[in-house]
């Protein structure tokens, strides 16, 4: 029983990321959206992913560059955008921070979002394993 | 003893300091140790200049150009990278495509709408813009670029490659118009044809305008409760904020002293709005229950048309809220209307004018695109009117208008006028019209001829090749034969591997004998991936093979010496060019760089003669390397070493933080969308850089 409990705890930690960090605001028009910025893991993700298993968090476990061909990136396209549309099958949303910087985010069916660069980061982490 | 030791220590420290100063001075050239030059700090031309995100379109060269031009031009204008890309493509790519019978750089012979913004060159972009009489618009005047990030759309739309999608839809519409200009008779005088077809297009335009007028009249006279609904939501949102700021929640309700707050809490709950912002997208969502909506629809519109007519929409709205069942507690009713804002009152009154006074001009103007969005009506109208030939034009017009209105663009009118009024309109001009409806001639920036852009590039393979000829190791003819044979062998190898891969896909049990849609799609996708891989492997085959052959001809020892010489001279020139501009004229430098260095600080793409992925890296992780344009916007000298600040156009560019040193610490020092690179890291992977100078 104890073993099973330990095993399930191990599996929970193994197959999910937990995000803790500062709150960041990104906006689209009048929509003000809250994000968690976890510097230690290099994650920028919807605040709603803090306490539930959202799609944006799940994809970080499996995203990979392996199926992306260099030709897809001609002209210096943002690799995170290509991962979002071609691998994750999600949609890109453009948001702007309160200083006017642009950033693209990947939005999933459950509406959770993660920055395109977080996708690139985790694709690389996963491919290095 | 103690004193002697101290004296010795001071002497050692003095010499150490002196030595350091000498080393530092020689390593950083004109820069002092600890000196930092940045164009993005207060007083610099890029101060508070936002970082761009080019998303899935290949406009890096135009993004870099727009940043560099901001530092070079008077007034530091933020220029549209999309328009810079259009200018580049019109001058450099369209003529090439014309040879293949395709009339635009943004299309290919594989069909209309195939977008080809897949890279370009900074100096060519500047030259094309200097020569283009249209100049270039500022980012804020290019709706497509500006509104993408500043949309007031009520819901999130898939914006992936939105620029691409709009360019494709414009392309299809443009083609459908042009197809209708194809001559009816085999032999027809050109000017006669244009006259005839222009008349037809004018007829189409007039018919559209007429139908649009009728449609908007009908549309704007309809009962509509969206205004009343939105005002109600605003009021509920304000109550929500009031309670949230007071820290009232279900768990502490028993401790709430103010009875009105308690009542308001239950009111928000009964309105279906729990006090939480934990929606899936972390946004506060305010909704109205269906019975409230039904009540509004039934009573609001009914009372608006009552006889005698109501005095105002606000009065009607107040009446129906009062009558709403279950009846509101008088205290809540009072509190509810205390929250109505002047702007909400004004919105209600506009609706009153539209629906009761039948003043529909404002509504009609706002909903012009609605007509085009109604595909059934649009196609039916023109089919029914005997305009069958315009069916395709109507369908593509509809597709484009849906994209535009979804993204708050309303330039379709202008595009339509453009296309129908100017028979010789080029595709690129049509694109300009649709991407920048607000950019008139007085807003355009023309790049003066006093601005120059010089490319600095010298291929390392050429250096090796020159050595081979100078030392008579081989003649040019012999080299060409060697390269040709090796290239043919490599092509055969790649093709054989591709064929084997296709056979493996065909016999894969996942796809074999499967006829369901999903399996077929998966199989086609696997084939496409294999094709892309082959295309990519063959892309730089000549450059890679030439480099490998030259290296083998000169020998490893000589090659190392040649590389070190080449790198040193490159480094000195780059340093001098960059520091002069950053320091003296506060101008940025643009680079054409291989992105392998983003993932691997030890990459040496320049020495390899191509930006192909390194096979040894491939085993480590599937890093994606490719040519890319970035901008150098700063430099610093620390511990006698120079590093450069590189600004990218990939948003926050956080993935670069994952490039690690041997001890697993972060290698590159980063900021939002920017990173610091050592001189070696840049020189080893920069294929060319551009000096942009302007005599201000």
Which one, of A87, A119, A88, lies nearest residue A103 by Cα?
A: A119
Give the C-alpha separation, B134 to B439, whole Å.
Answer: 10
Give the torsion sign (CA, B366, B372, B376, B379).
Answer: positive
Rounded to whole angstroms, the Cα distance separating A15 from A26 reads 28
CB contact under 8 A, B156 and A28: yes
Asked if B655 and A124 come within 8 Å (Cβ–Cβ), the reply is yes
Nearest by Cα to B391 from B405, B377, B379, B374: B379
The answer to whether the Cβ–Cβ distance between A34 and B118 falls below 8 Å is no
Closest Cβ–Cβ partner in A51, A75, A117 for B651: A117
d(CA B505, CA B509): 9
For position B477, what pLDDT does the model report?
93
Contact between A56 and A108 under an 8 Å Cβ cutoff? The reply is yes
Instruction: Tell me the average pLDDT across A26-55.
Output: 81
> Which of B19-28, B82-91, B150-159, B298-307 is the most confident on average?
B82-91
Residue B107: both structure tokens together: 């299309």
What does the pLDDT read at residue B57?
A: 79
Distance separating alpha carbons of residues B647 and B633, to the nearest angstrom: 7
Nearest to B655 among A77, A96, A121 (CB): A121
Q: How far apart are CA B497 and CA B94, in angstroms?
A: 35
Name which of B351, B389, B434 is nearest B167 in CA terms. Answer: B434
Mean pLDDT score across all residues of chain A = 77
Share above pLDDT 90 across residues of chain B, in percent, rounded to a whole number = 25
Do you know the residue count of chain A?
129
Q: What is the average pLDDT across B435-446? A: 77
Inter-chain residue contact A77 with B57, CB threshold 8 Å: yes
pLDDT tens digit string along B230-284?
777 777 777 776 776 677 777 777 888 888 888 777 777 766 554 454 555 556 5
Q: Pick from A31, A65, A96: which is nearest to B624 by CB?
A: A65
Mutation site for B-interface testing, chosen from A53, A70, A123 by largest number of B Cβ within 10 Å: A70
Q: What is the pLDDT of residue B406?
A: 54
- Per cent of chain B over pLDDT 70 is 70
Asked if A124 and B623 come within 8 Å (Cβ–Cβ), the reply is: yes
Question: Which pLDDT belongs to residue B562?
Answer: 95
CB contact under 8 A, B622 and A65: yes
At B489-504, the pLDDT tens digits run 988 988 998 899 899 9
Mean pLDDT, range B84-110, rounded to an integer: 75
ipTM of the complex: 0.72
Average pLDDT over residues B515-528: 83
Supply the Cα-derived Rg of chain B in whole angstroms: 33
Contact B536 A69 (CB under 8 A): yes
**B324-327, Cβ contacts within 8 angstroms, sequence gap of 24 or more:** B324/B292, B324/B295, B325/B295
Report d(CA A127, CA B528) in Å as an integer.
Answer: 22
Tell me if A37 sits within 8 A of A23, measured CB to CB.
yes
Q: Which of B50, B620, B624 sits opposite A70 (nearest CB)?
A: B624
Identify the CA nearest to B281 among candidates A99, A45, A9, A38: A45
Give pLDDT tens digits for B402-413.
666 555 444 455
Determine whether the interchain pair B156/A93 forms a contact, defined as Cβ–Cβ distance below 8 Å: yes
Across A102-116, B201-215, B581-595, the highest mean pLDDT is recorded for B581-595
Q: For strand B686-694 and strand A102-107, is the pairing parallel, antiparallel, or unpaired?
A: unpaired
Q: Identify the pLDDT of residue B597.
A: 92
**What confidence tens digit (pLDDT) does each residue in B116-162 have?**
567 889 999 999 999 988 889 888 777 666 655 544 444 455 555 66
SS3 B645: strand
Q: What is the pTM of this model?
A: 0.68
CA–CA dist B392, B404 (Å, integer): 18
Residues in chain A within 8 Å Cβ distance of B623: 65, 124, 127
Of the candidates A35, A96, A128, the beta carbon closest to that of B621 is on: A128
Residues B273/B287, Cβ–Cβ less than 8 Å: yes
Higher pLDDT residue, B566 or A3?
B566
Tell me which of A64 and B226 has the higher pLDDT.
Answer: A64
Buried b (16+ CB within 10 A) or exposed e, B647-673: bbbbbbbbbbbbbeeeeeeebbebeeb
Q: Which residues of A touch B279 (CB under 8 A)?
A: 48, 111
Q: Note the pLDDT of residue B144.
A: 64
The Cα-based distances of B169 to B162, B398, B695 in angstroms read 10, 9, 41
Cβ of B658 within 8 Å of Cβ of A118? The answer is: no
CB B256 within 8 A of CB B239: no
Instruction: Name the β-bridge partners of A37.
Output: A22, A44
d(CA B167, CA B436): 12
Q: What are phi and psi of B512, to 5 degrees?
A: -60, 125
Residue in B41, B42, B39 with CA at minimum distance from that of residue B70: B39
């Amino acid at each position: 029983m104890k073993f099973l409990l330990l095993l399930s705890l191990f599996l929970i930690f193994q197959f999910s990321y937990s995000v803790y960090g500062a709150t960041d605001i990104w906006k689209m028009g009048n929509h003000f959206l809250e994000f968690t910025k976890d510097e230690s893991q290099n994650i920028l993700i919807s605040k709603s992913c803090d306490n539930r298993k959202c799609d944006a968090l799940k994809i970080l476990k499996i995203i990979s560059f392996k199926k992306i061909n260099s030709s897809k990136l001609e002209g210096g396209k943002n690799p995170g955008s290509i991962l979002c549309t071609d691998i994750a099958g999600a949609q890109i949303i453009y948001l702007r921070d309160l200083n006017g910087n642009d950033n693209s985010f990947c939005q999933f069916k459950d509406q959770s979002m993660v920055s395109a660069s977080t996708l690139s980061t985790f694709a690389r982490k996963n491919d290095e394993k | 003893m103690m004193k002697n030791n101290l004296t010795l220590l001071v002497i050692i420290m003095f010499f150490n300091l002196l030595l350091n100063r000498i080393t530092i001075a020689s390593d950083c050239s004109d820069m002092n140790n600890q000196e930092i030059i940045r164009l993005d700090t207060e007083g610099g031309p890029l101060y508070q200049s936002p970082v761009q995100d080019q998303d899935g379109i290949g406009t890096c060269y135009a993004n870099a150009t727009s940043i560099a031009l901001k530092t070079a031009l008077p007034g530091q204008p933020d220029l549209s990278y999309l328009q810079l890309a259009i200018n580049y493509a019109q001058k450099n790519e369209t003529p090439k495509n014309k040879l293949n019978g395709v009339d635009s750089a943004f299309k290919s012979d594989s069909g209309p709408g195939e977008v080809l913004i897949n890279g370009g060159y900074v100096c060519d972009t500047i030259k094309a813009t200097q020569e283009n009489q249209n100049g270039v618009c500022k980012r804020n005047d290019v709706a497509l670029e500006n509104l993408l990030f500043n949309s007031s759309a009520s819901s999130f739309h898939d914006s992936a490659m939105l620029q691409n999608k709009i360019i494709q839809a414009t392309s299809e519409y443009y083609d459908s118009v042009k197809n209708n200009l194809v001559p009816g008779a085999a032999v027809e005088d050109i000017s006669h044809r244009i006259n005839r077809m222009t008349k037809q297009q004018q007829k189409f335009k007039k018919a559209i305008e007429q139908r649009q007028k009728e449609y908007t009249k009908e549309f704007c006279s309809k009962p509509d409760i969206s205004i009343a609904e939105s005002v109600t939501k605003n009021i509920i949102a304000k109550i929500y904020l009031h309670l949230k700021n007071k820290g009232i929640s279900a768990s502490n309700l028993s401790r709430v002293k103010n009875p009105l707050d308690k009542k308001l809490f239950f009111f928000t709950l009964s309105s279906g709005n729990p006090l939480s912002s934990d929606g899936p997208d972390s946004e506060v969502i305010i909704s109205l229950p269906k019975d409230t909506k039904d009540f509004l629809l039934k009573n609001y519109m009914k009372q608006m048309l009552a006889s005698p007519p109501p005095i105002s929409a606000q009065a009607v709205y107040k009446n129906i809220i009062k009558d709403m069942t279950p009846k509101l507690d008088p205290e809540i009713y009072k509190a509810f209307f205390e929250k109505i804002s002047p702007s909400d009152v004004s919105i209600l009154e506009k609706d009153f004018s539209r629906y009761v006074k039948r003043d529909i001009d404002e509504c009609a103007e706002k909903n012009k695109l609605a007509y085009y969005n109604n595909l059934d009506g649009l196609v039916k109208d023109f089919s029914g009117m005997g305009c069958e030939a315009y069916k395709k034009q109507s369908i593509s017009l509809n597709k484009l208008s849906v994209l535009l209105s979804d993204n708050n663009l309303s330039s379709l009118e202008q595009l339509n006028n453009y296309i129908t009024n100017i028979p010789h309109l080029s595709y690129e001009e049509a694109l300009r019209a649709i991407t920048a409806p607000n950019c008139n001639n007085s807003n355009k920036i023309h790049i003066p001829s006093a601005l120059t852009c010089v490319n600095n590039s010298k291929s390392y393979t050429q250096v090796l090749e020159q050595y081979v000829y100078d030392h008579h190791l081989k003649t040019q003819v012999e080299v060409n034969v060697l390269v040709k044979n090796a290239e043919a062998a490599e092509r055969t190898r790649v093709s054989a591997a591709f064929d084997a891969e296709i056979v493996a896909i065909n016999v894969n049990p996942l796809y074999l004998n499967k006829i369901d849609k999903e399996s077929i799609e998966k199989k086609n996708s696997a084939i496409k991936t294999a094709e892309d891989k082959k295309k990519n492997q063959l892309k730089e085959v000549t450059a890679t093979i030439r480099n490998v052959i030259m290296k083998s001809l000169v020998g490893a020892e000589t090659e190392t010496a040649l590389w070190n010489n080449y790198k040193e001279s490159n480094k000195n020139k780059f340093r001098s060019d960059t520091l002069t501009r950053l320091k003296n004229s506060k101008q940025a430098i643009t680079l054409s760089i291989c992105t392998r260095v983003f993932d691997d600080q030890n990459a040496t793409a320049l020495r390899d003669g191509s930006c192909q992925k390194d096979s040894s890296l491939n085993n480590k992780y599937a890093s994606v390397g490719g040519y890319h344009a970035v901008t150098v916007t700063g430099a610093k000298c620390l511990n006698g070493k120079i590093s450069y600040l590189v600004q990218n156009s990939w948003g926050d560019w956080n993935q670069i933080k994952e490039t690690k040193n041997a001890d697993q610490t972060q290698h590159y020092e980063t900021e939002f969308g920017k990173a610091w690179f050592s001189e070696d890291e840049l020189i080893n992977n920069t294929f060319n850089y551009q000096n942009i100078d302007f005599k201000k």
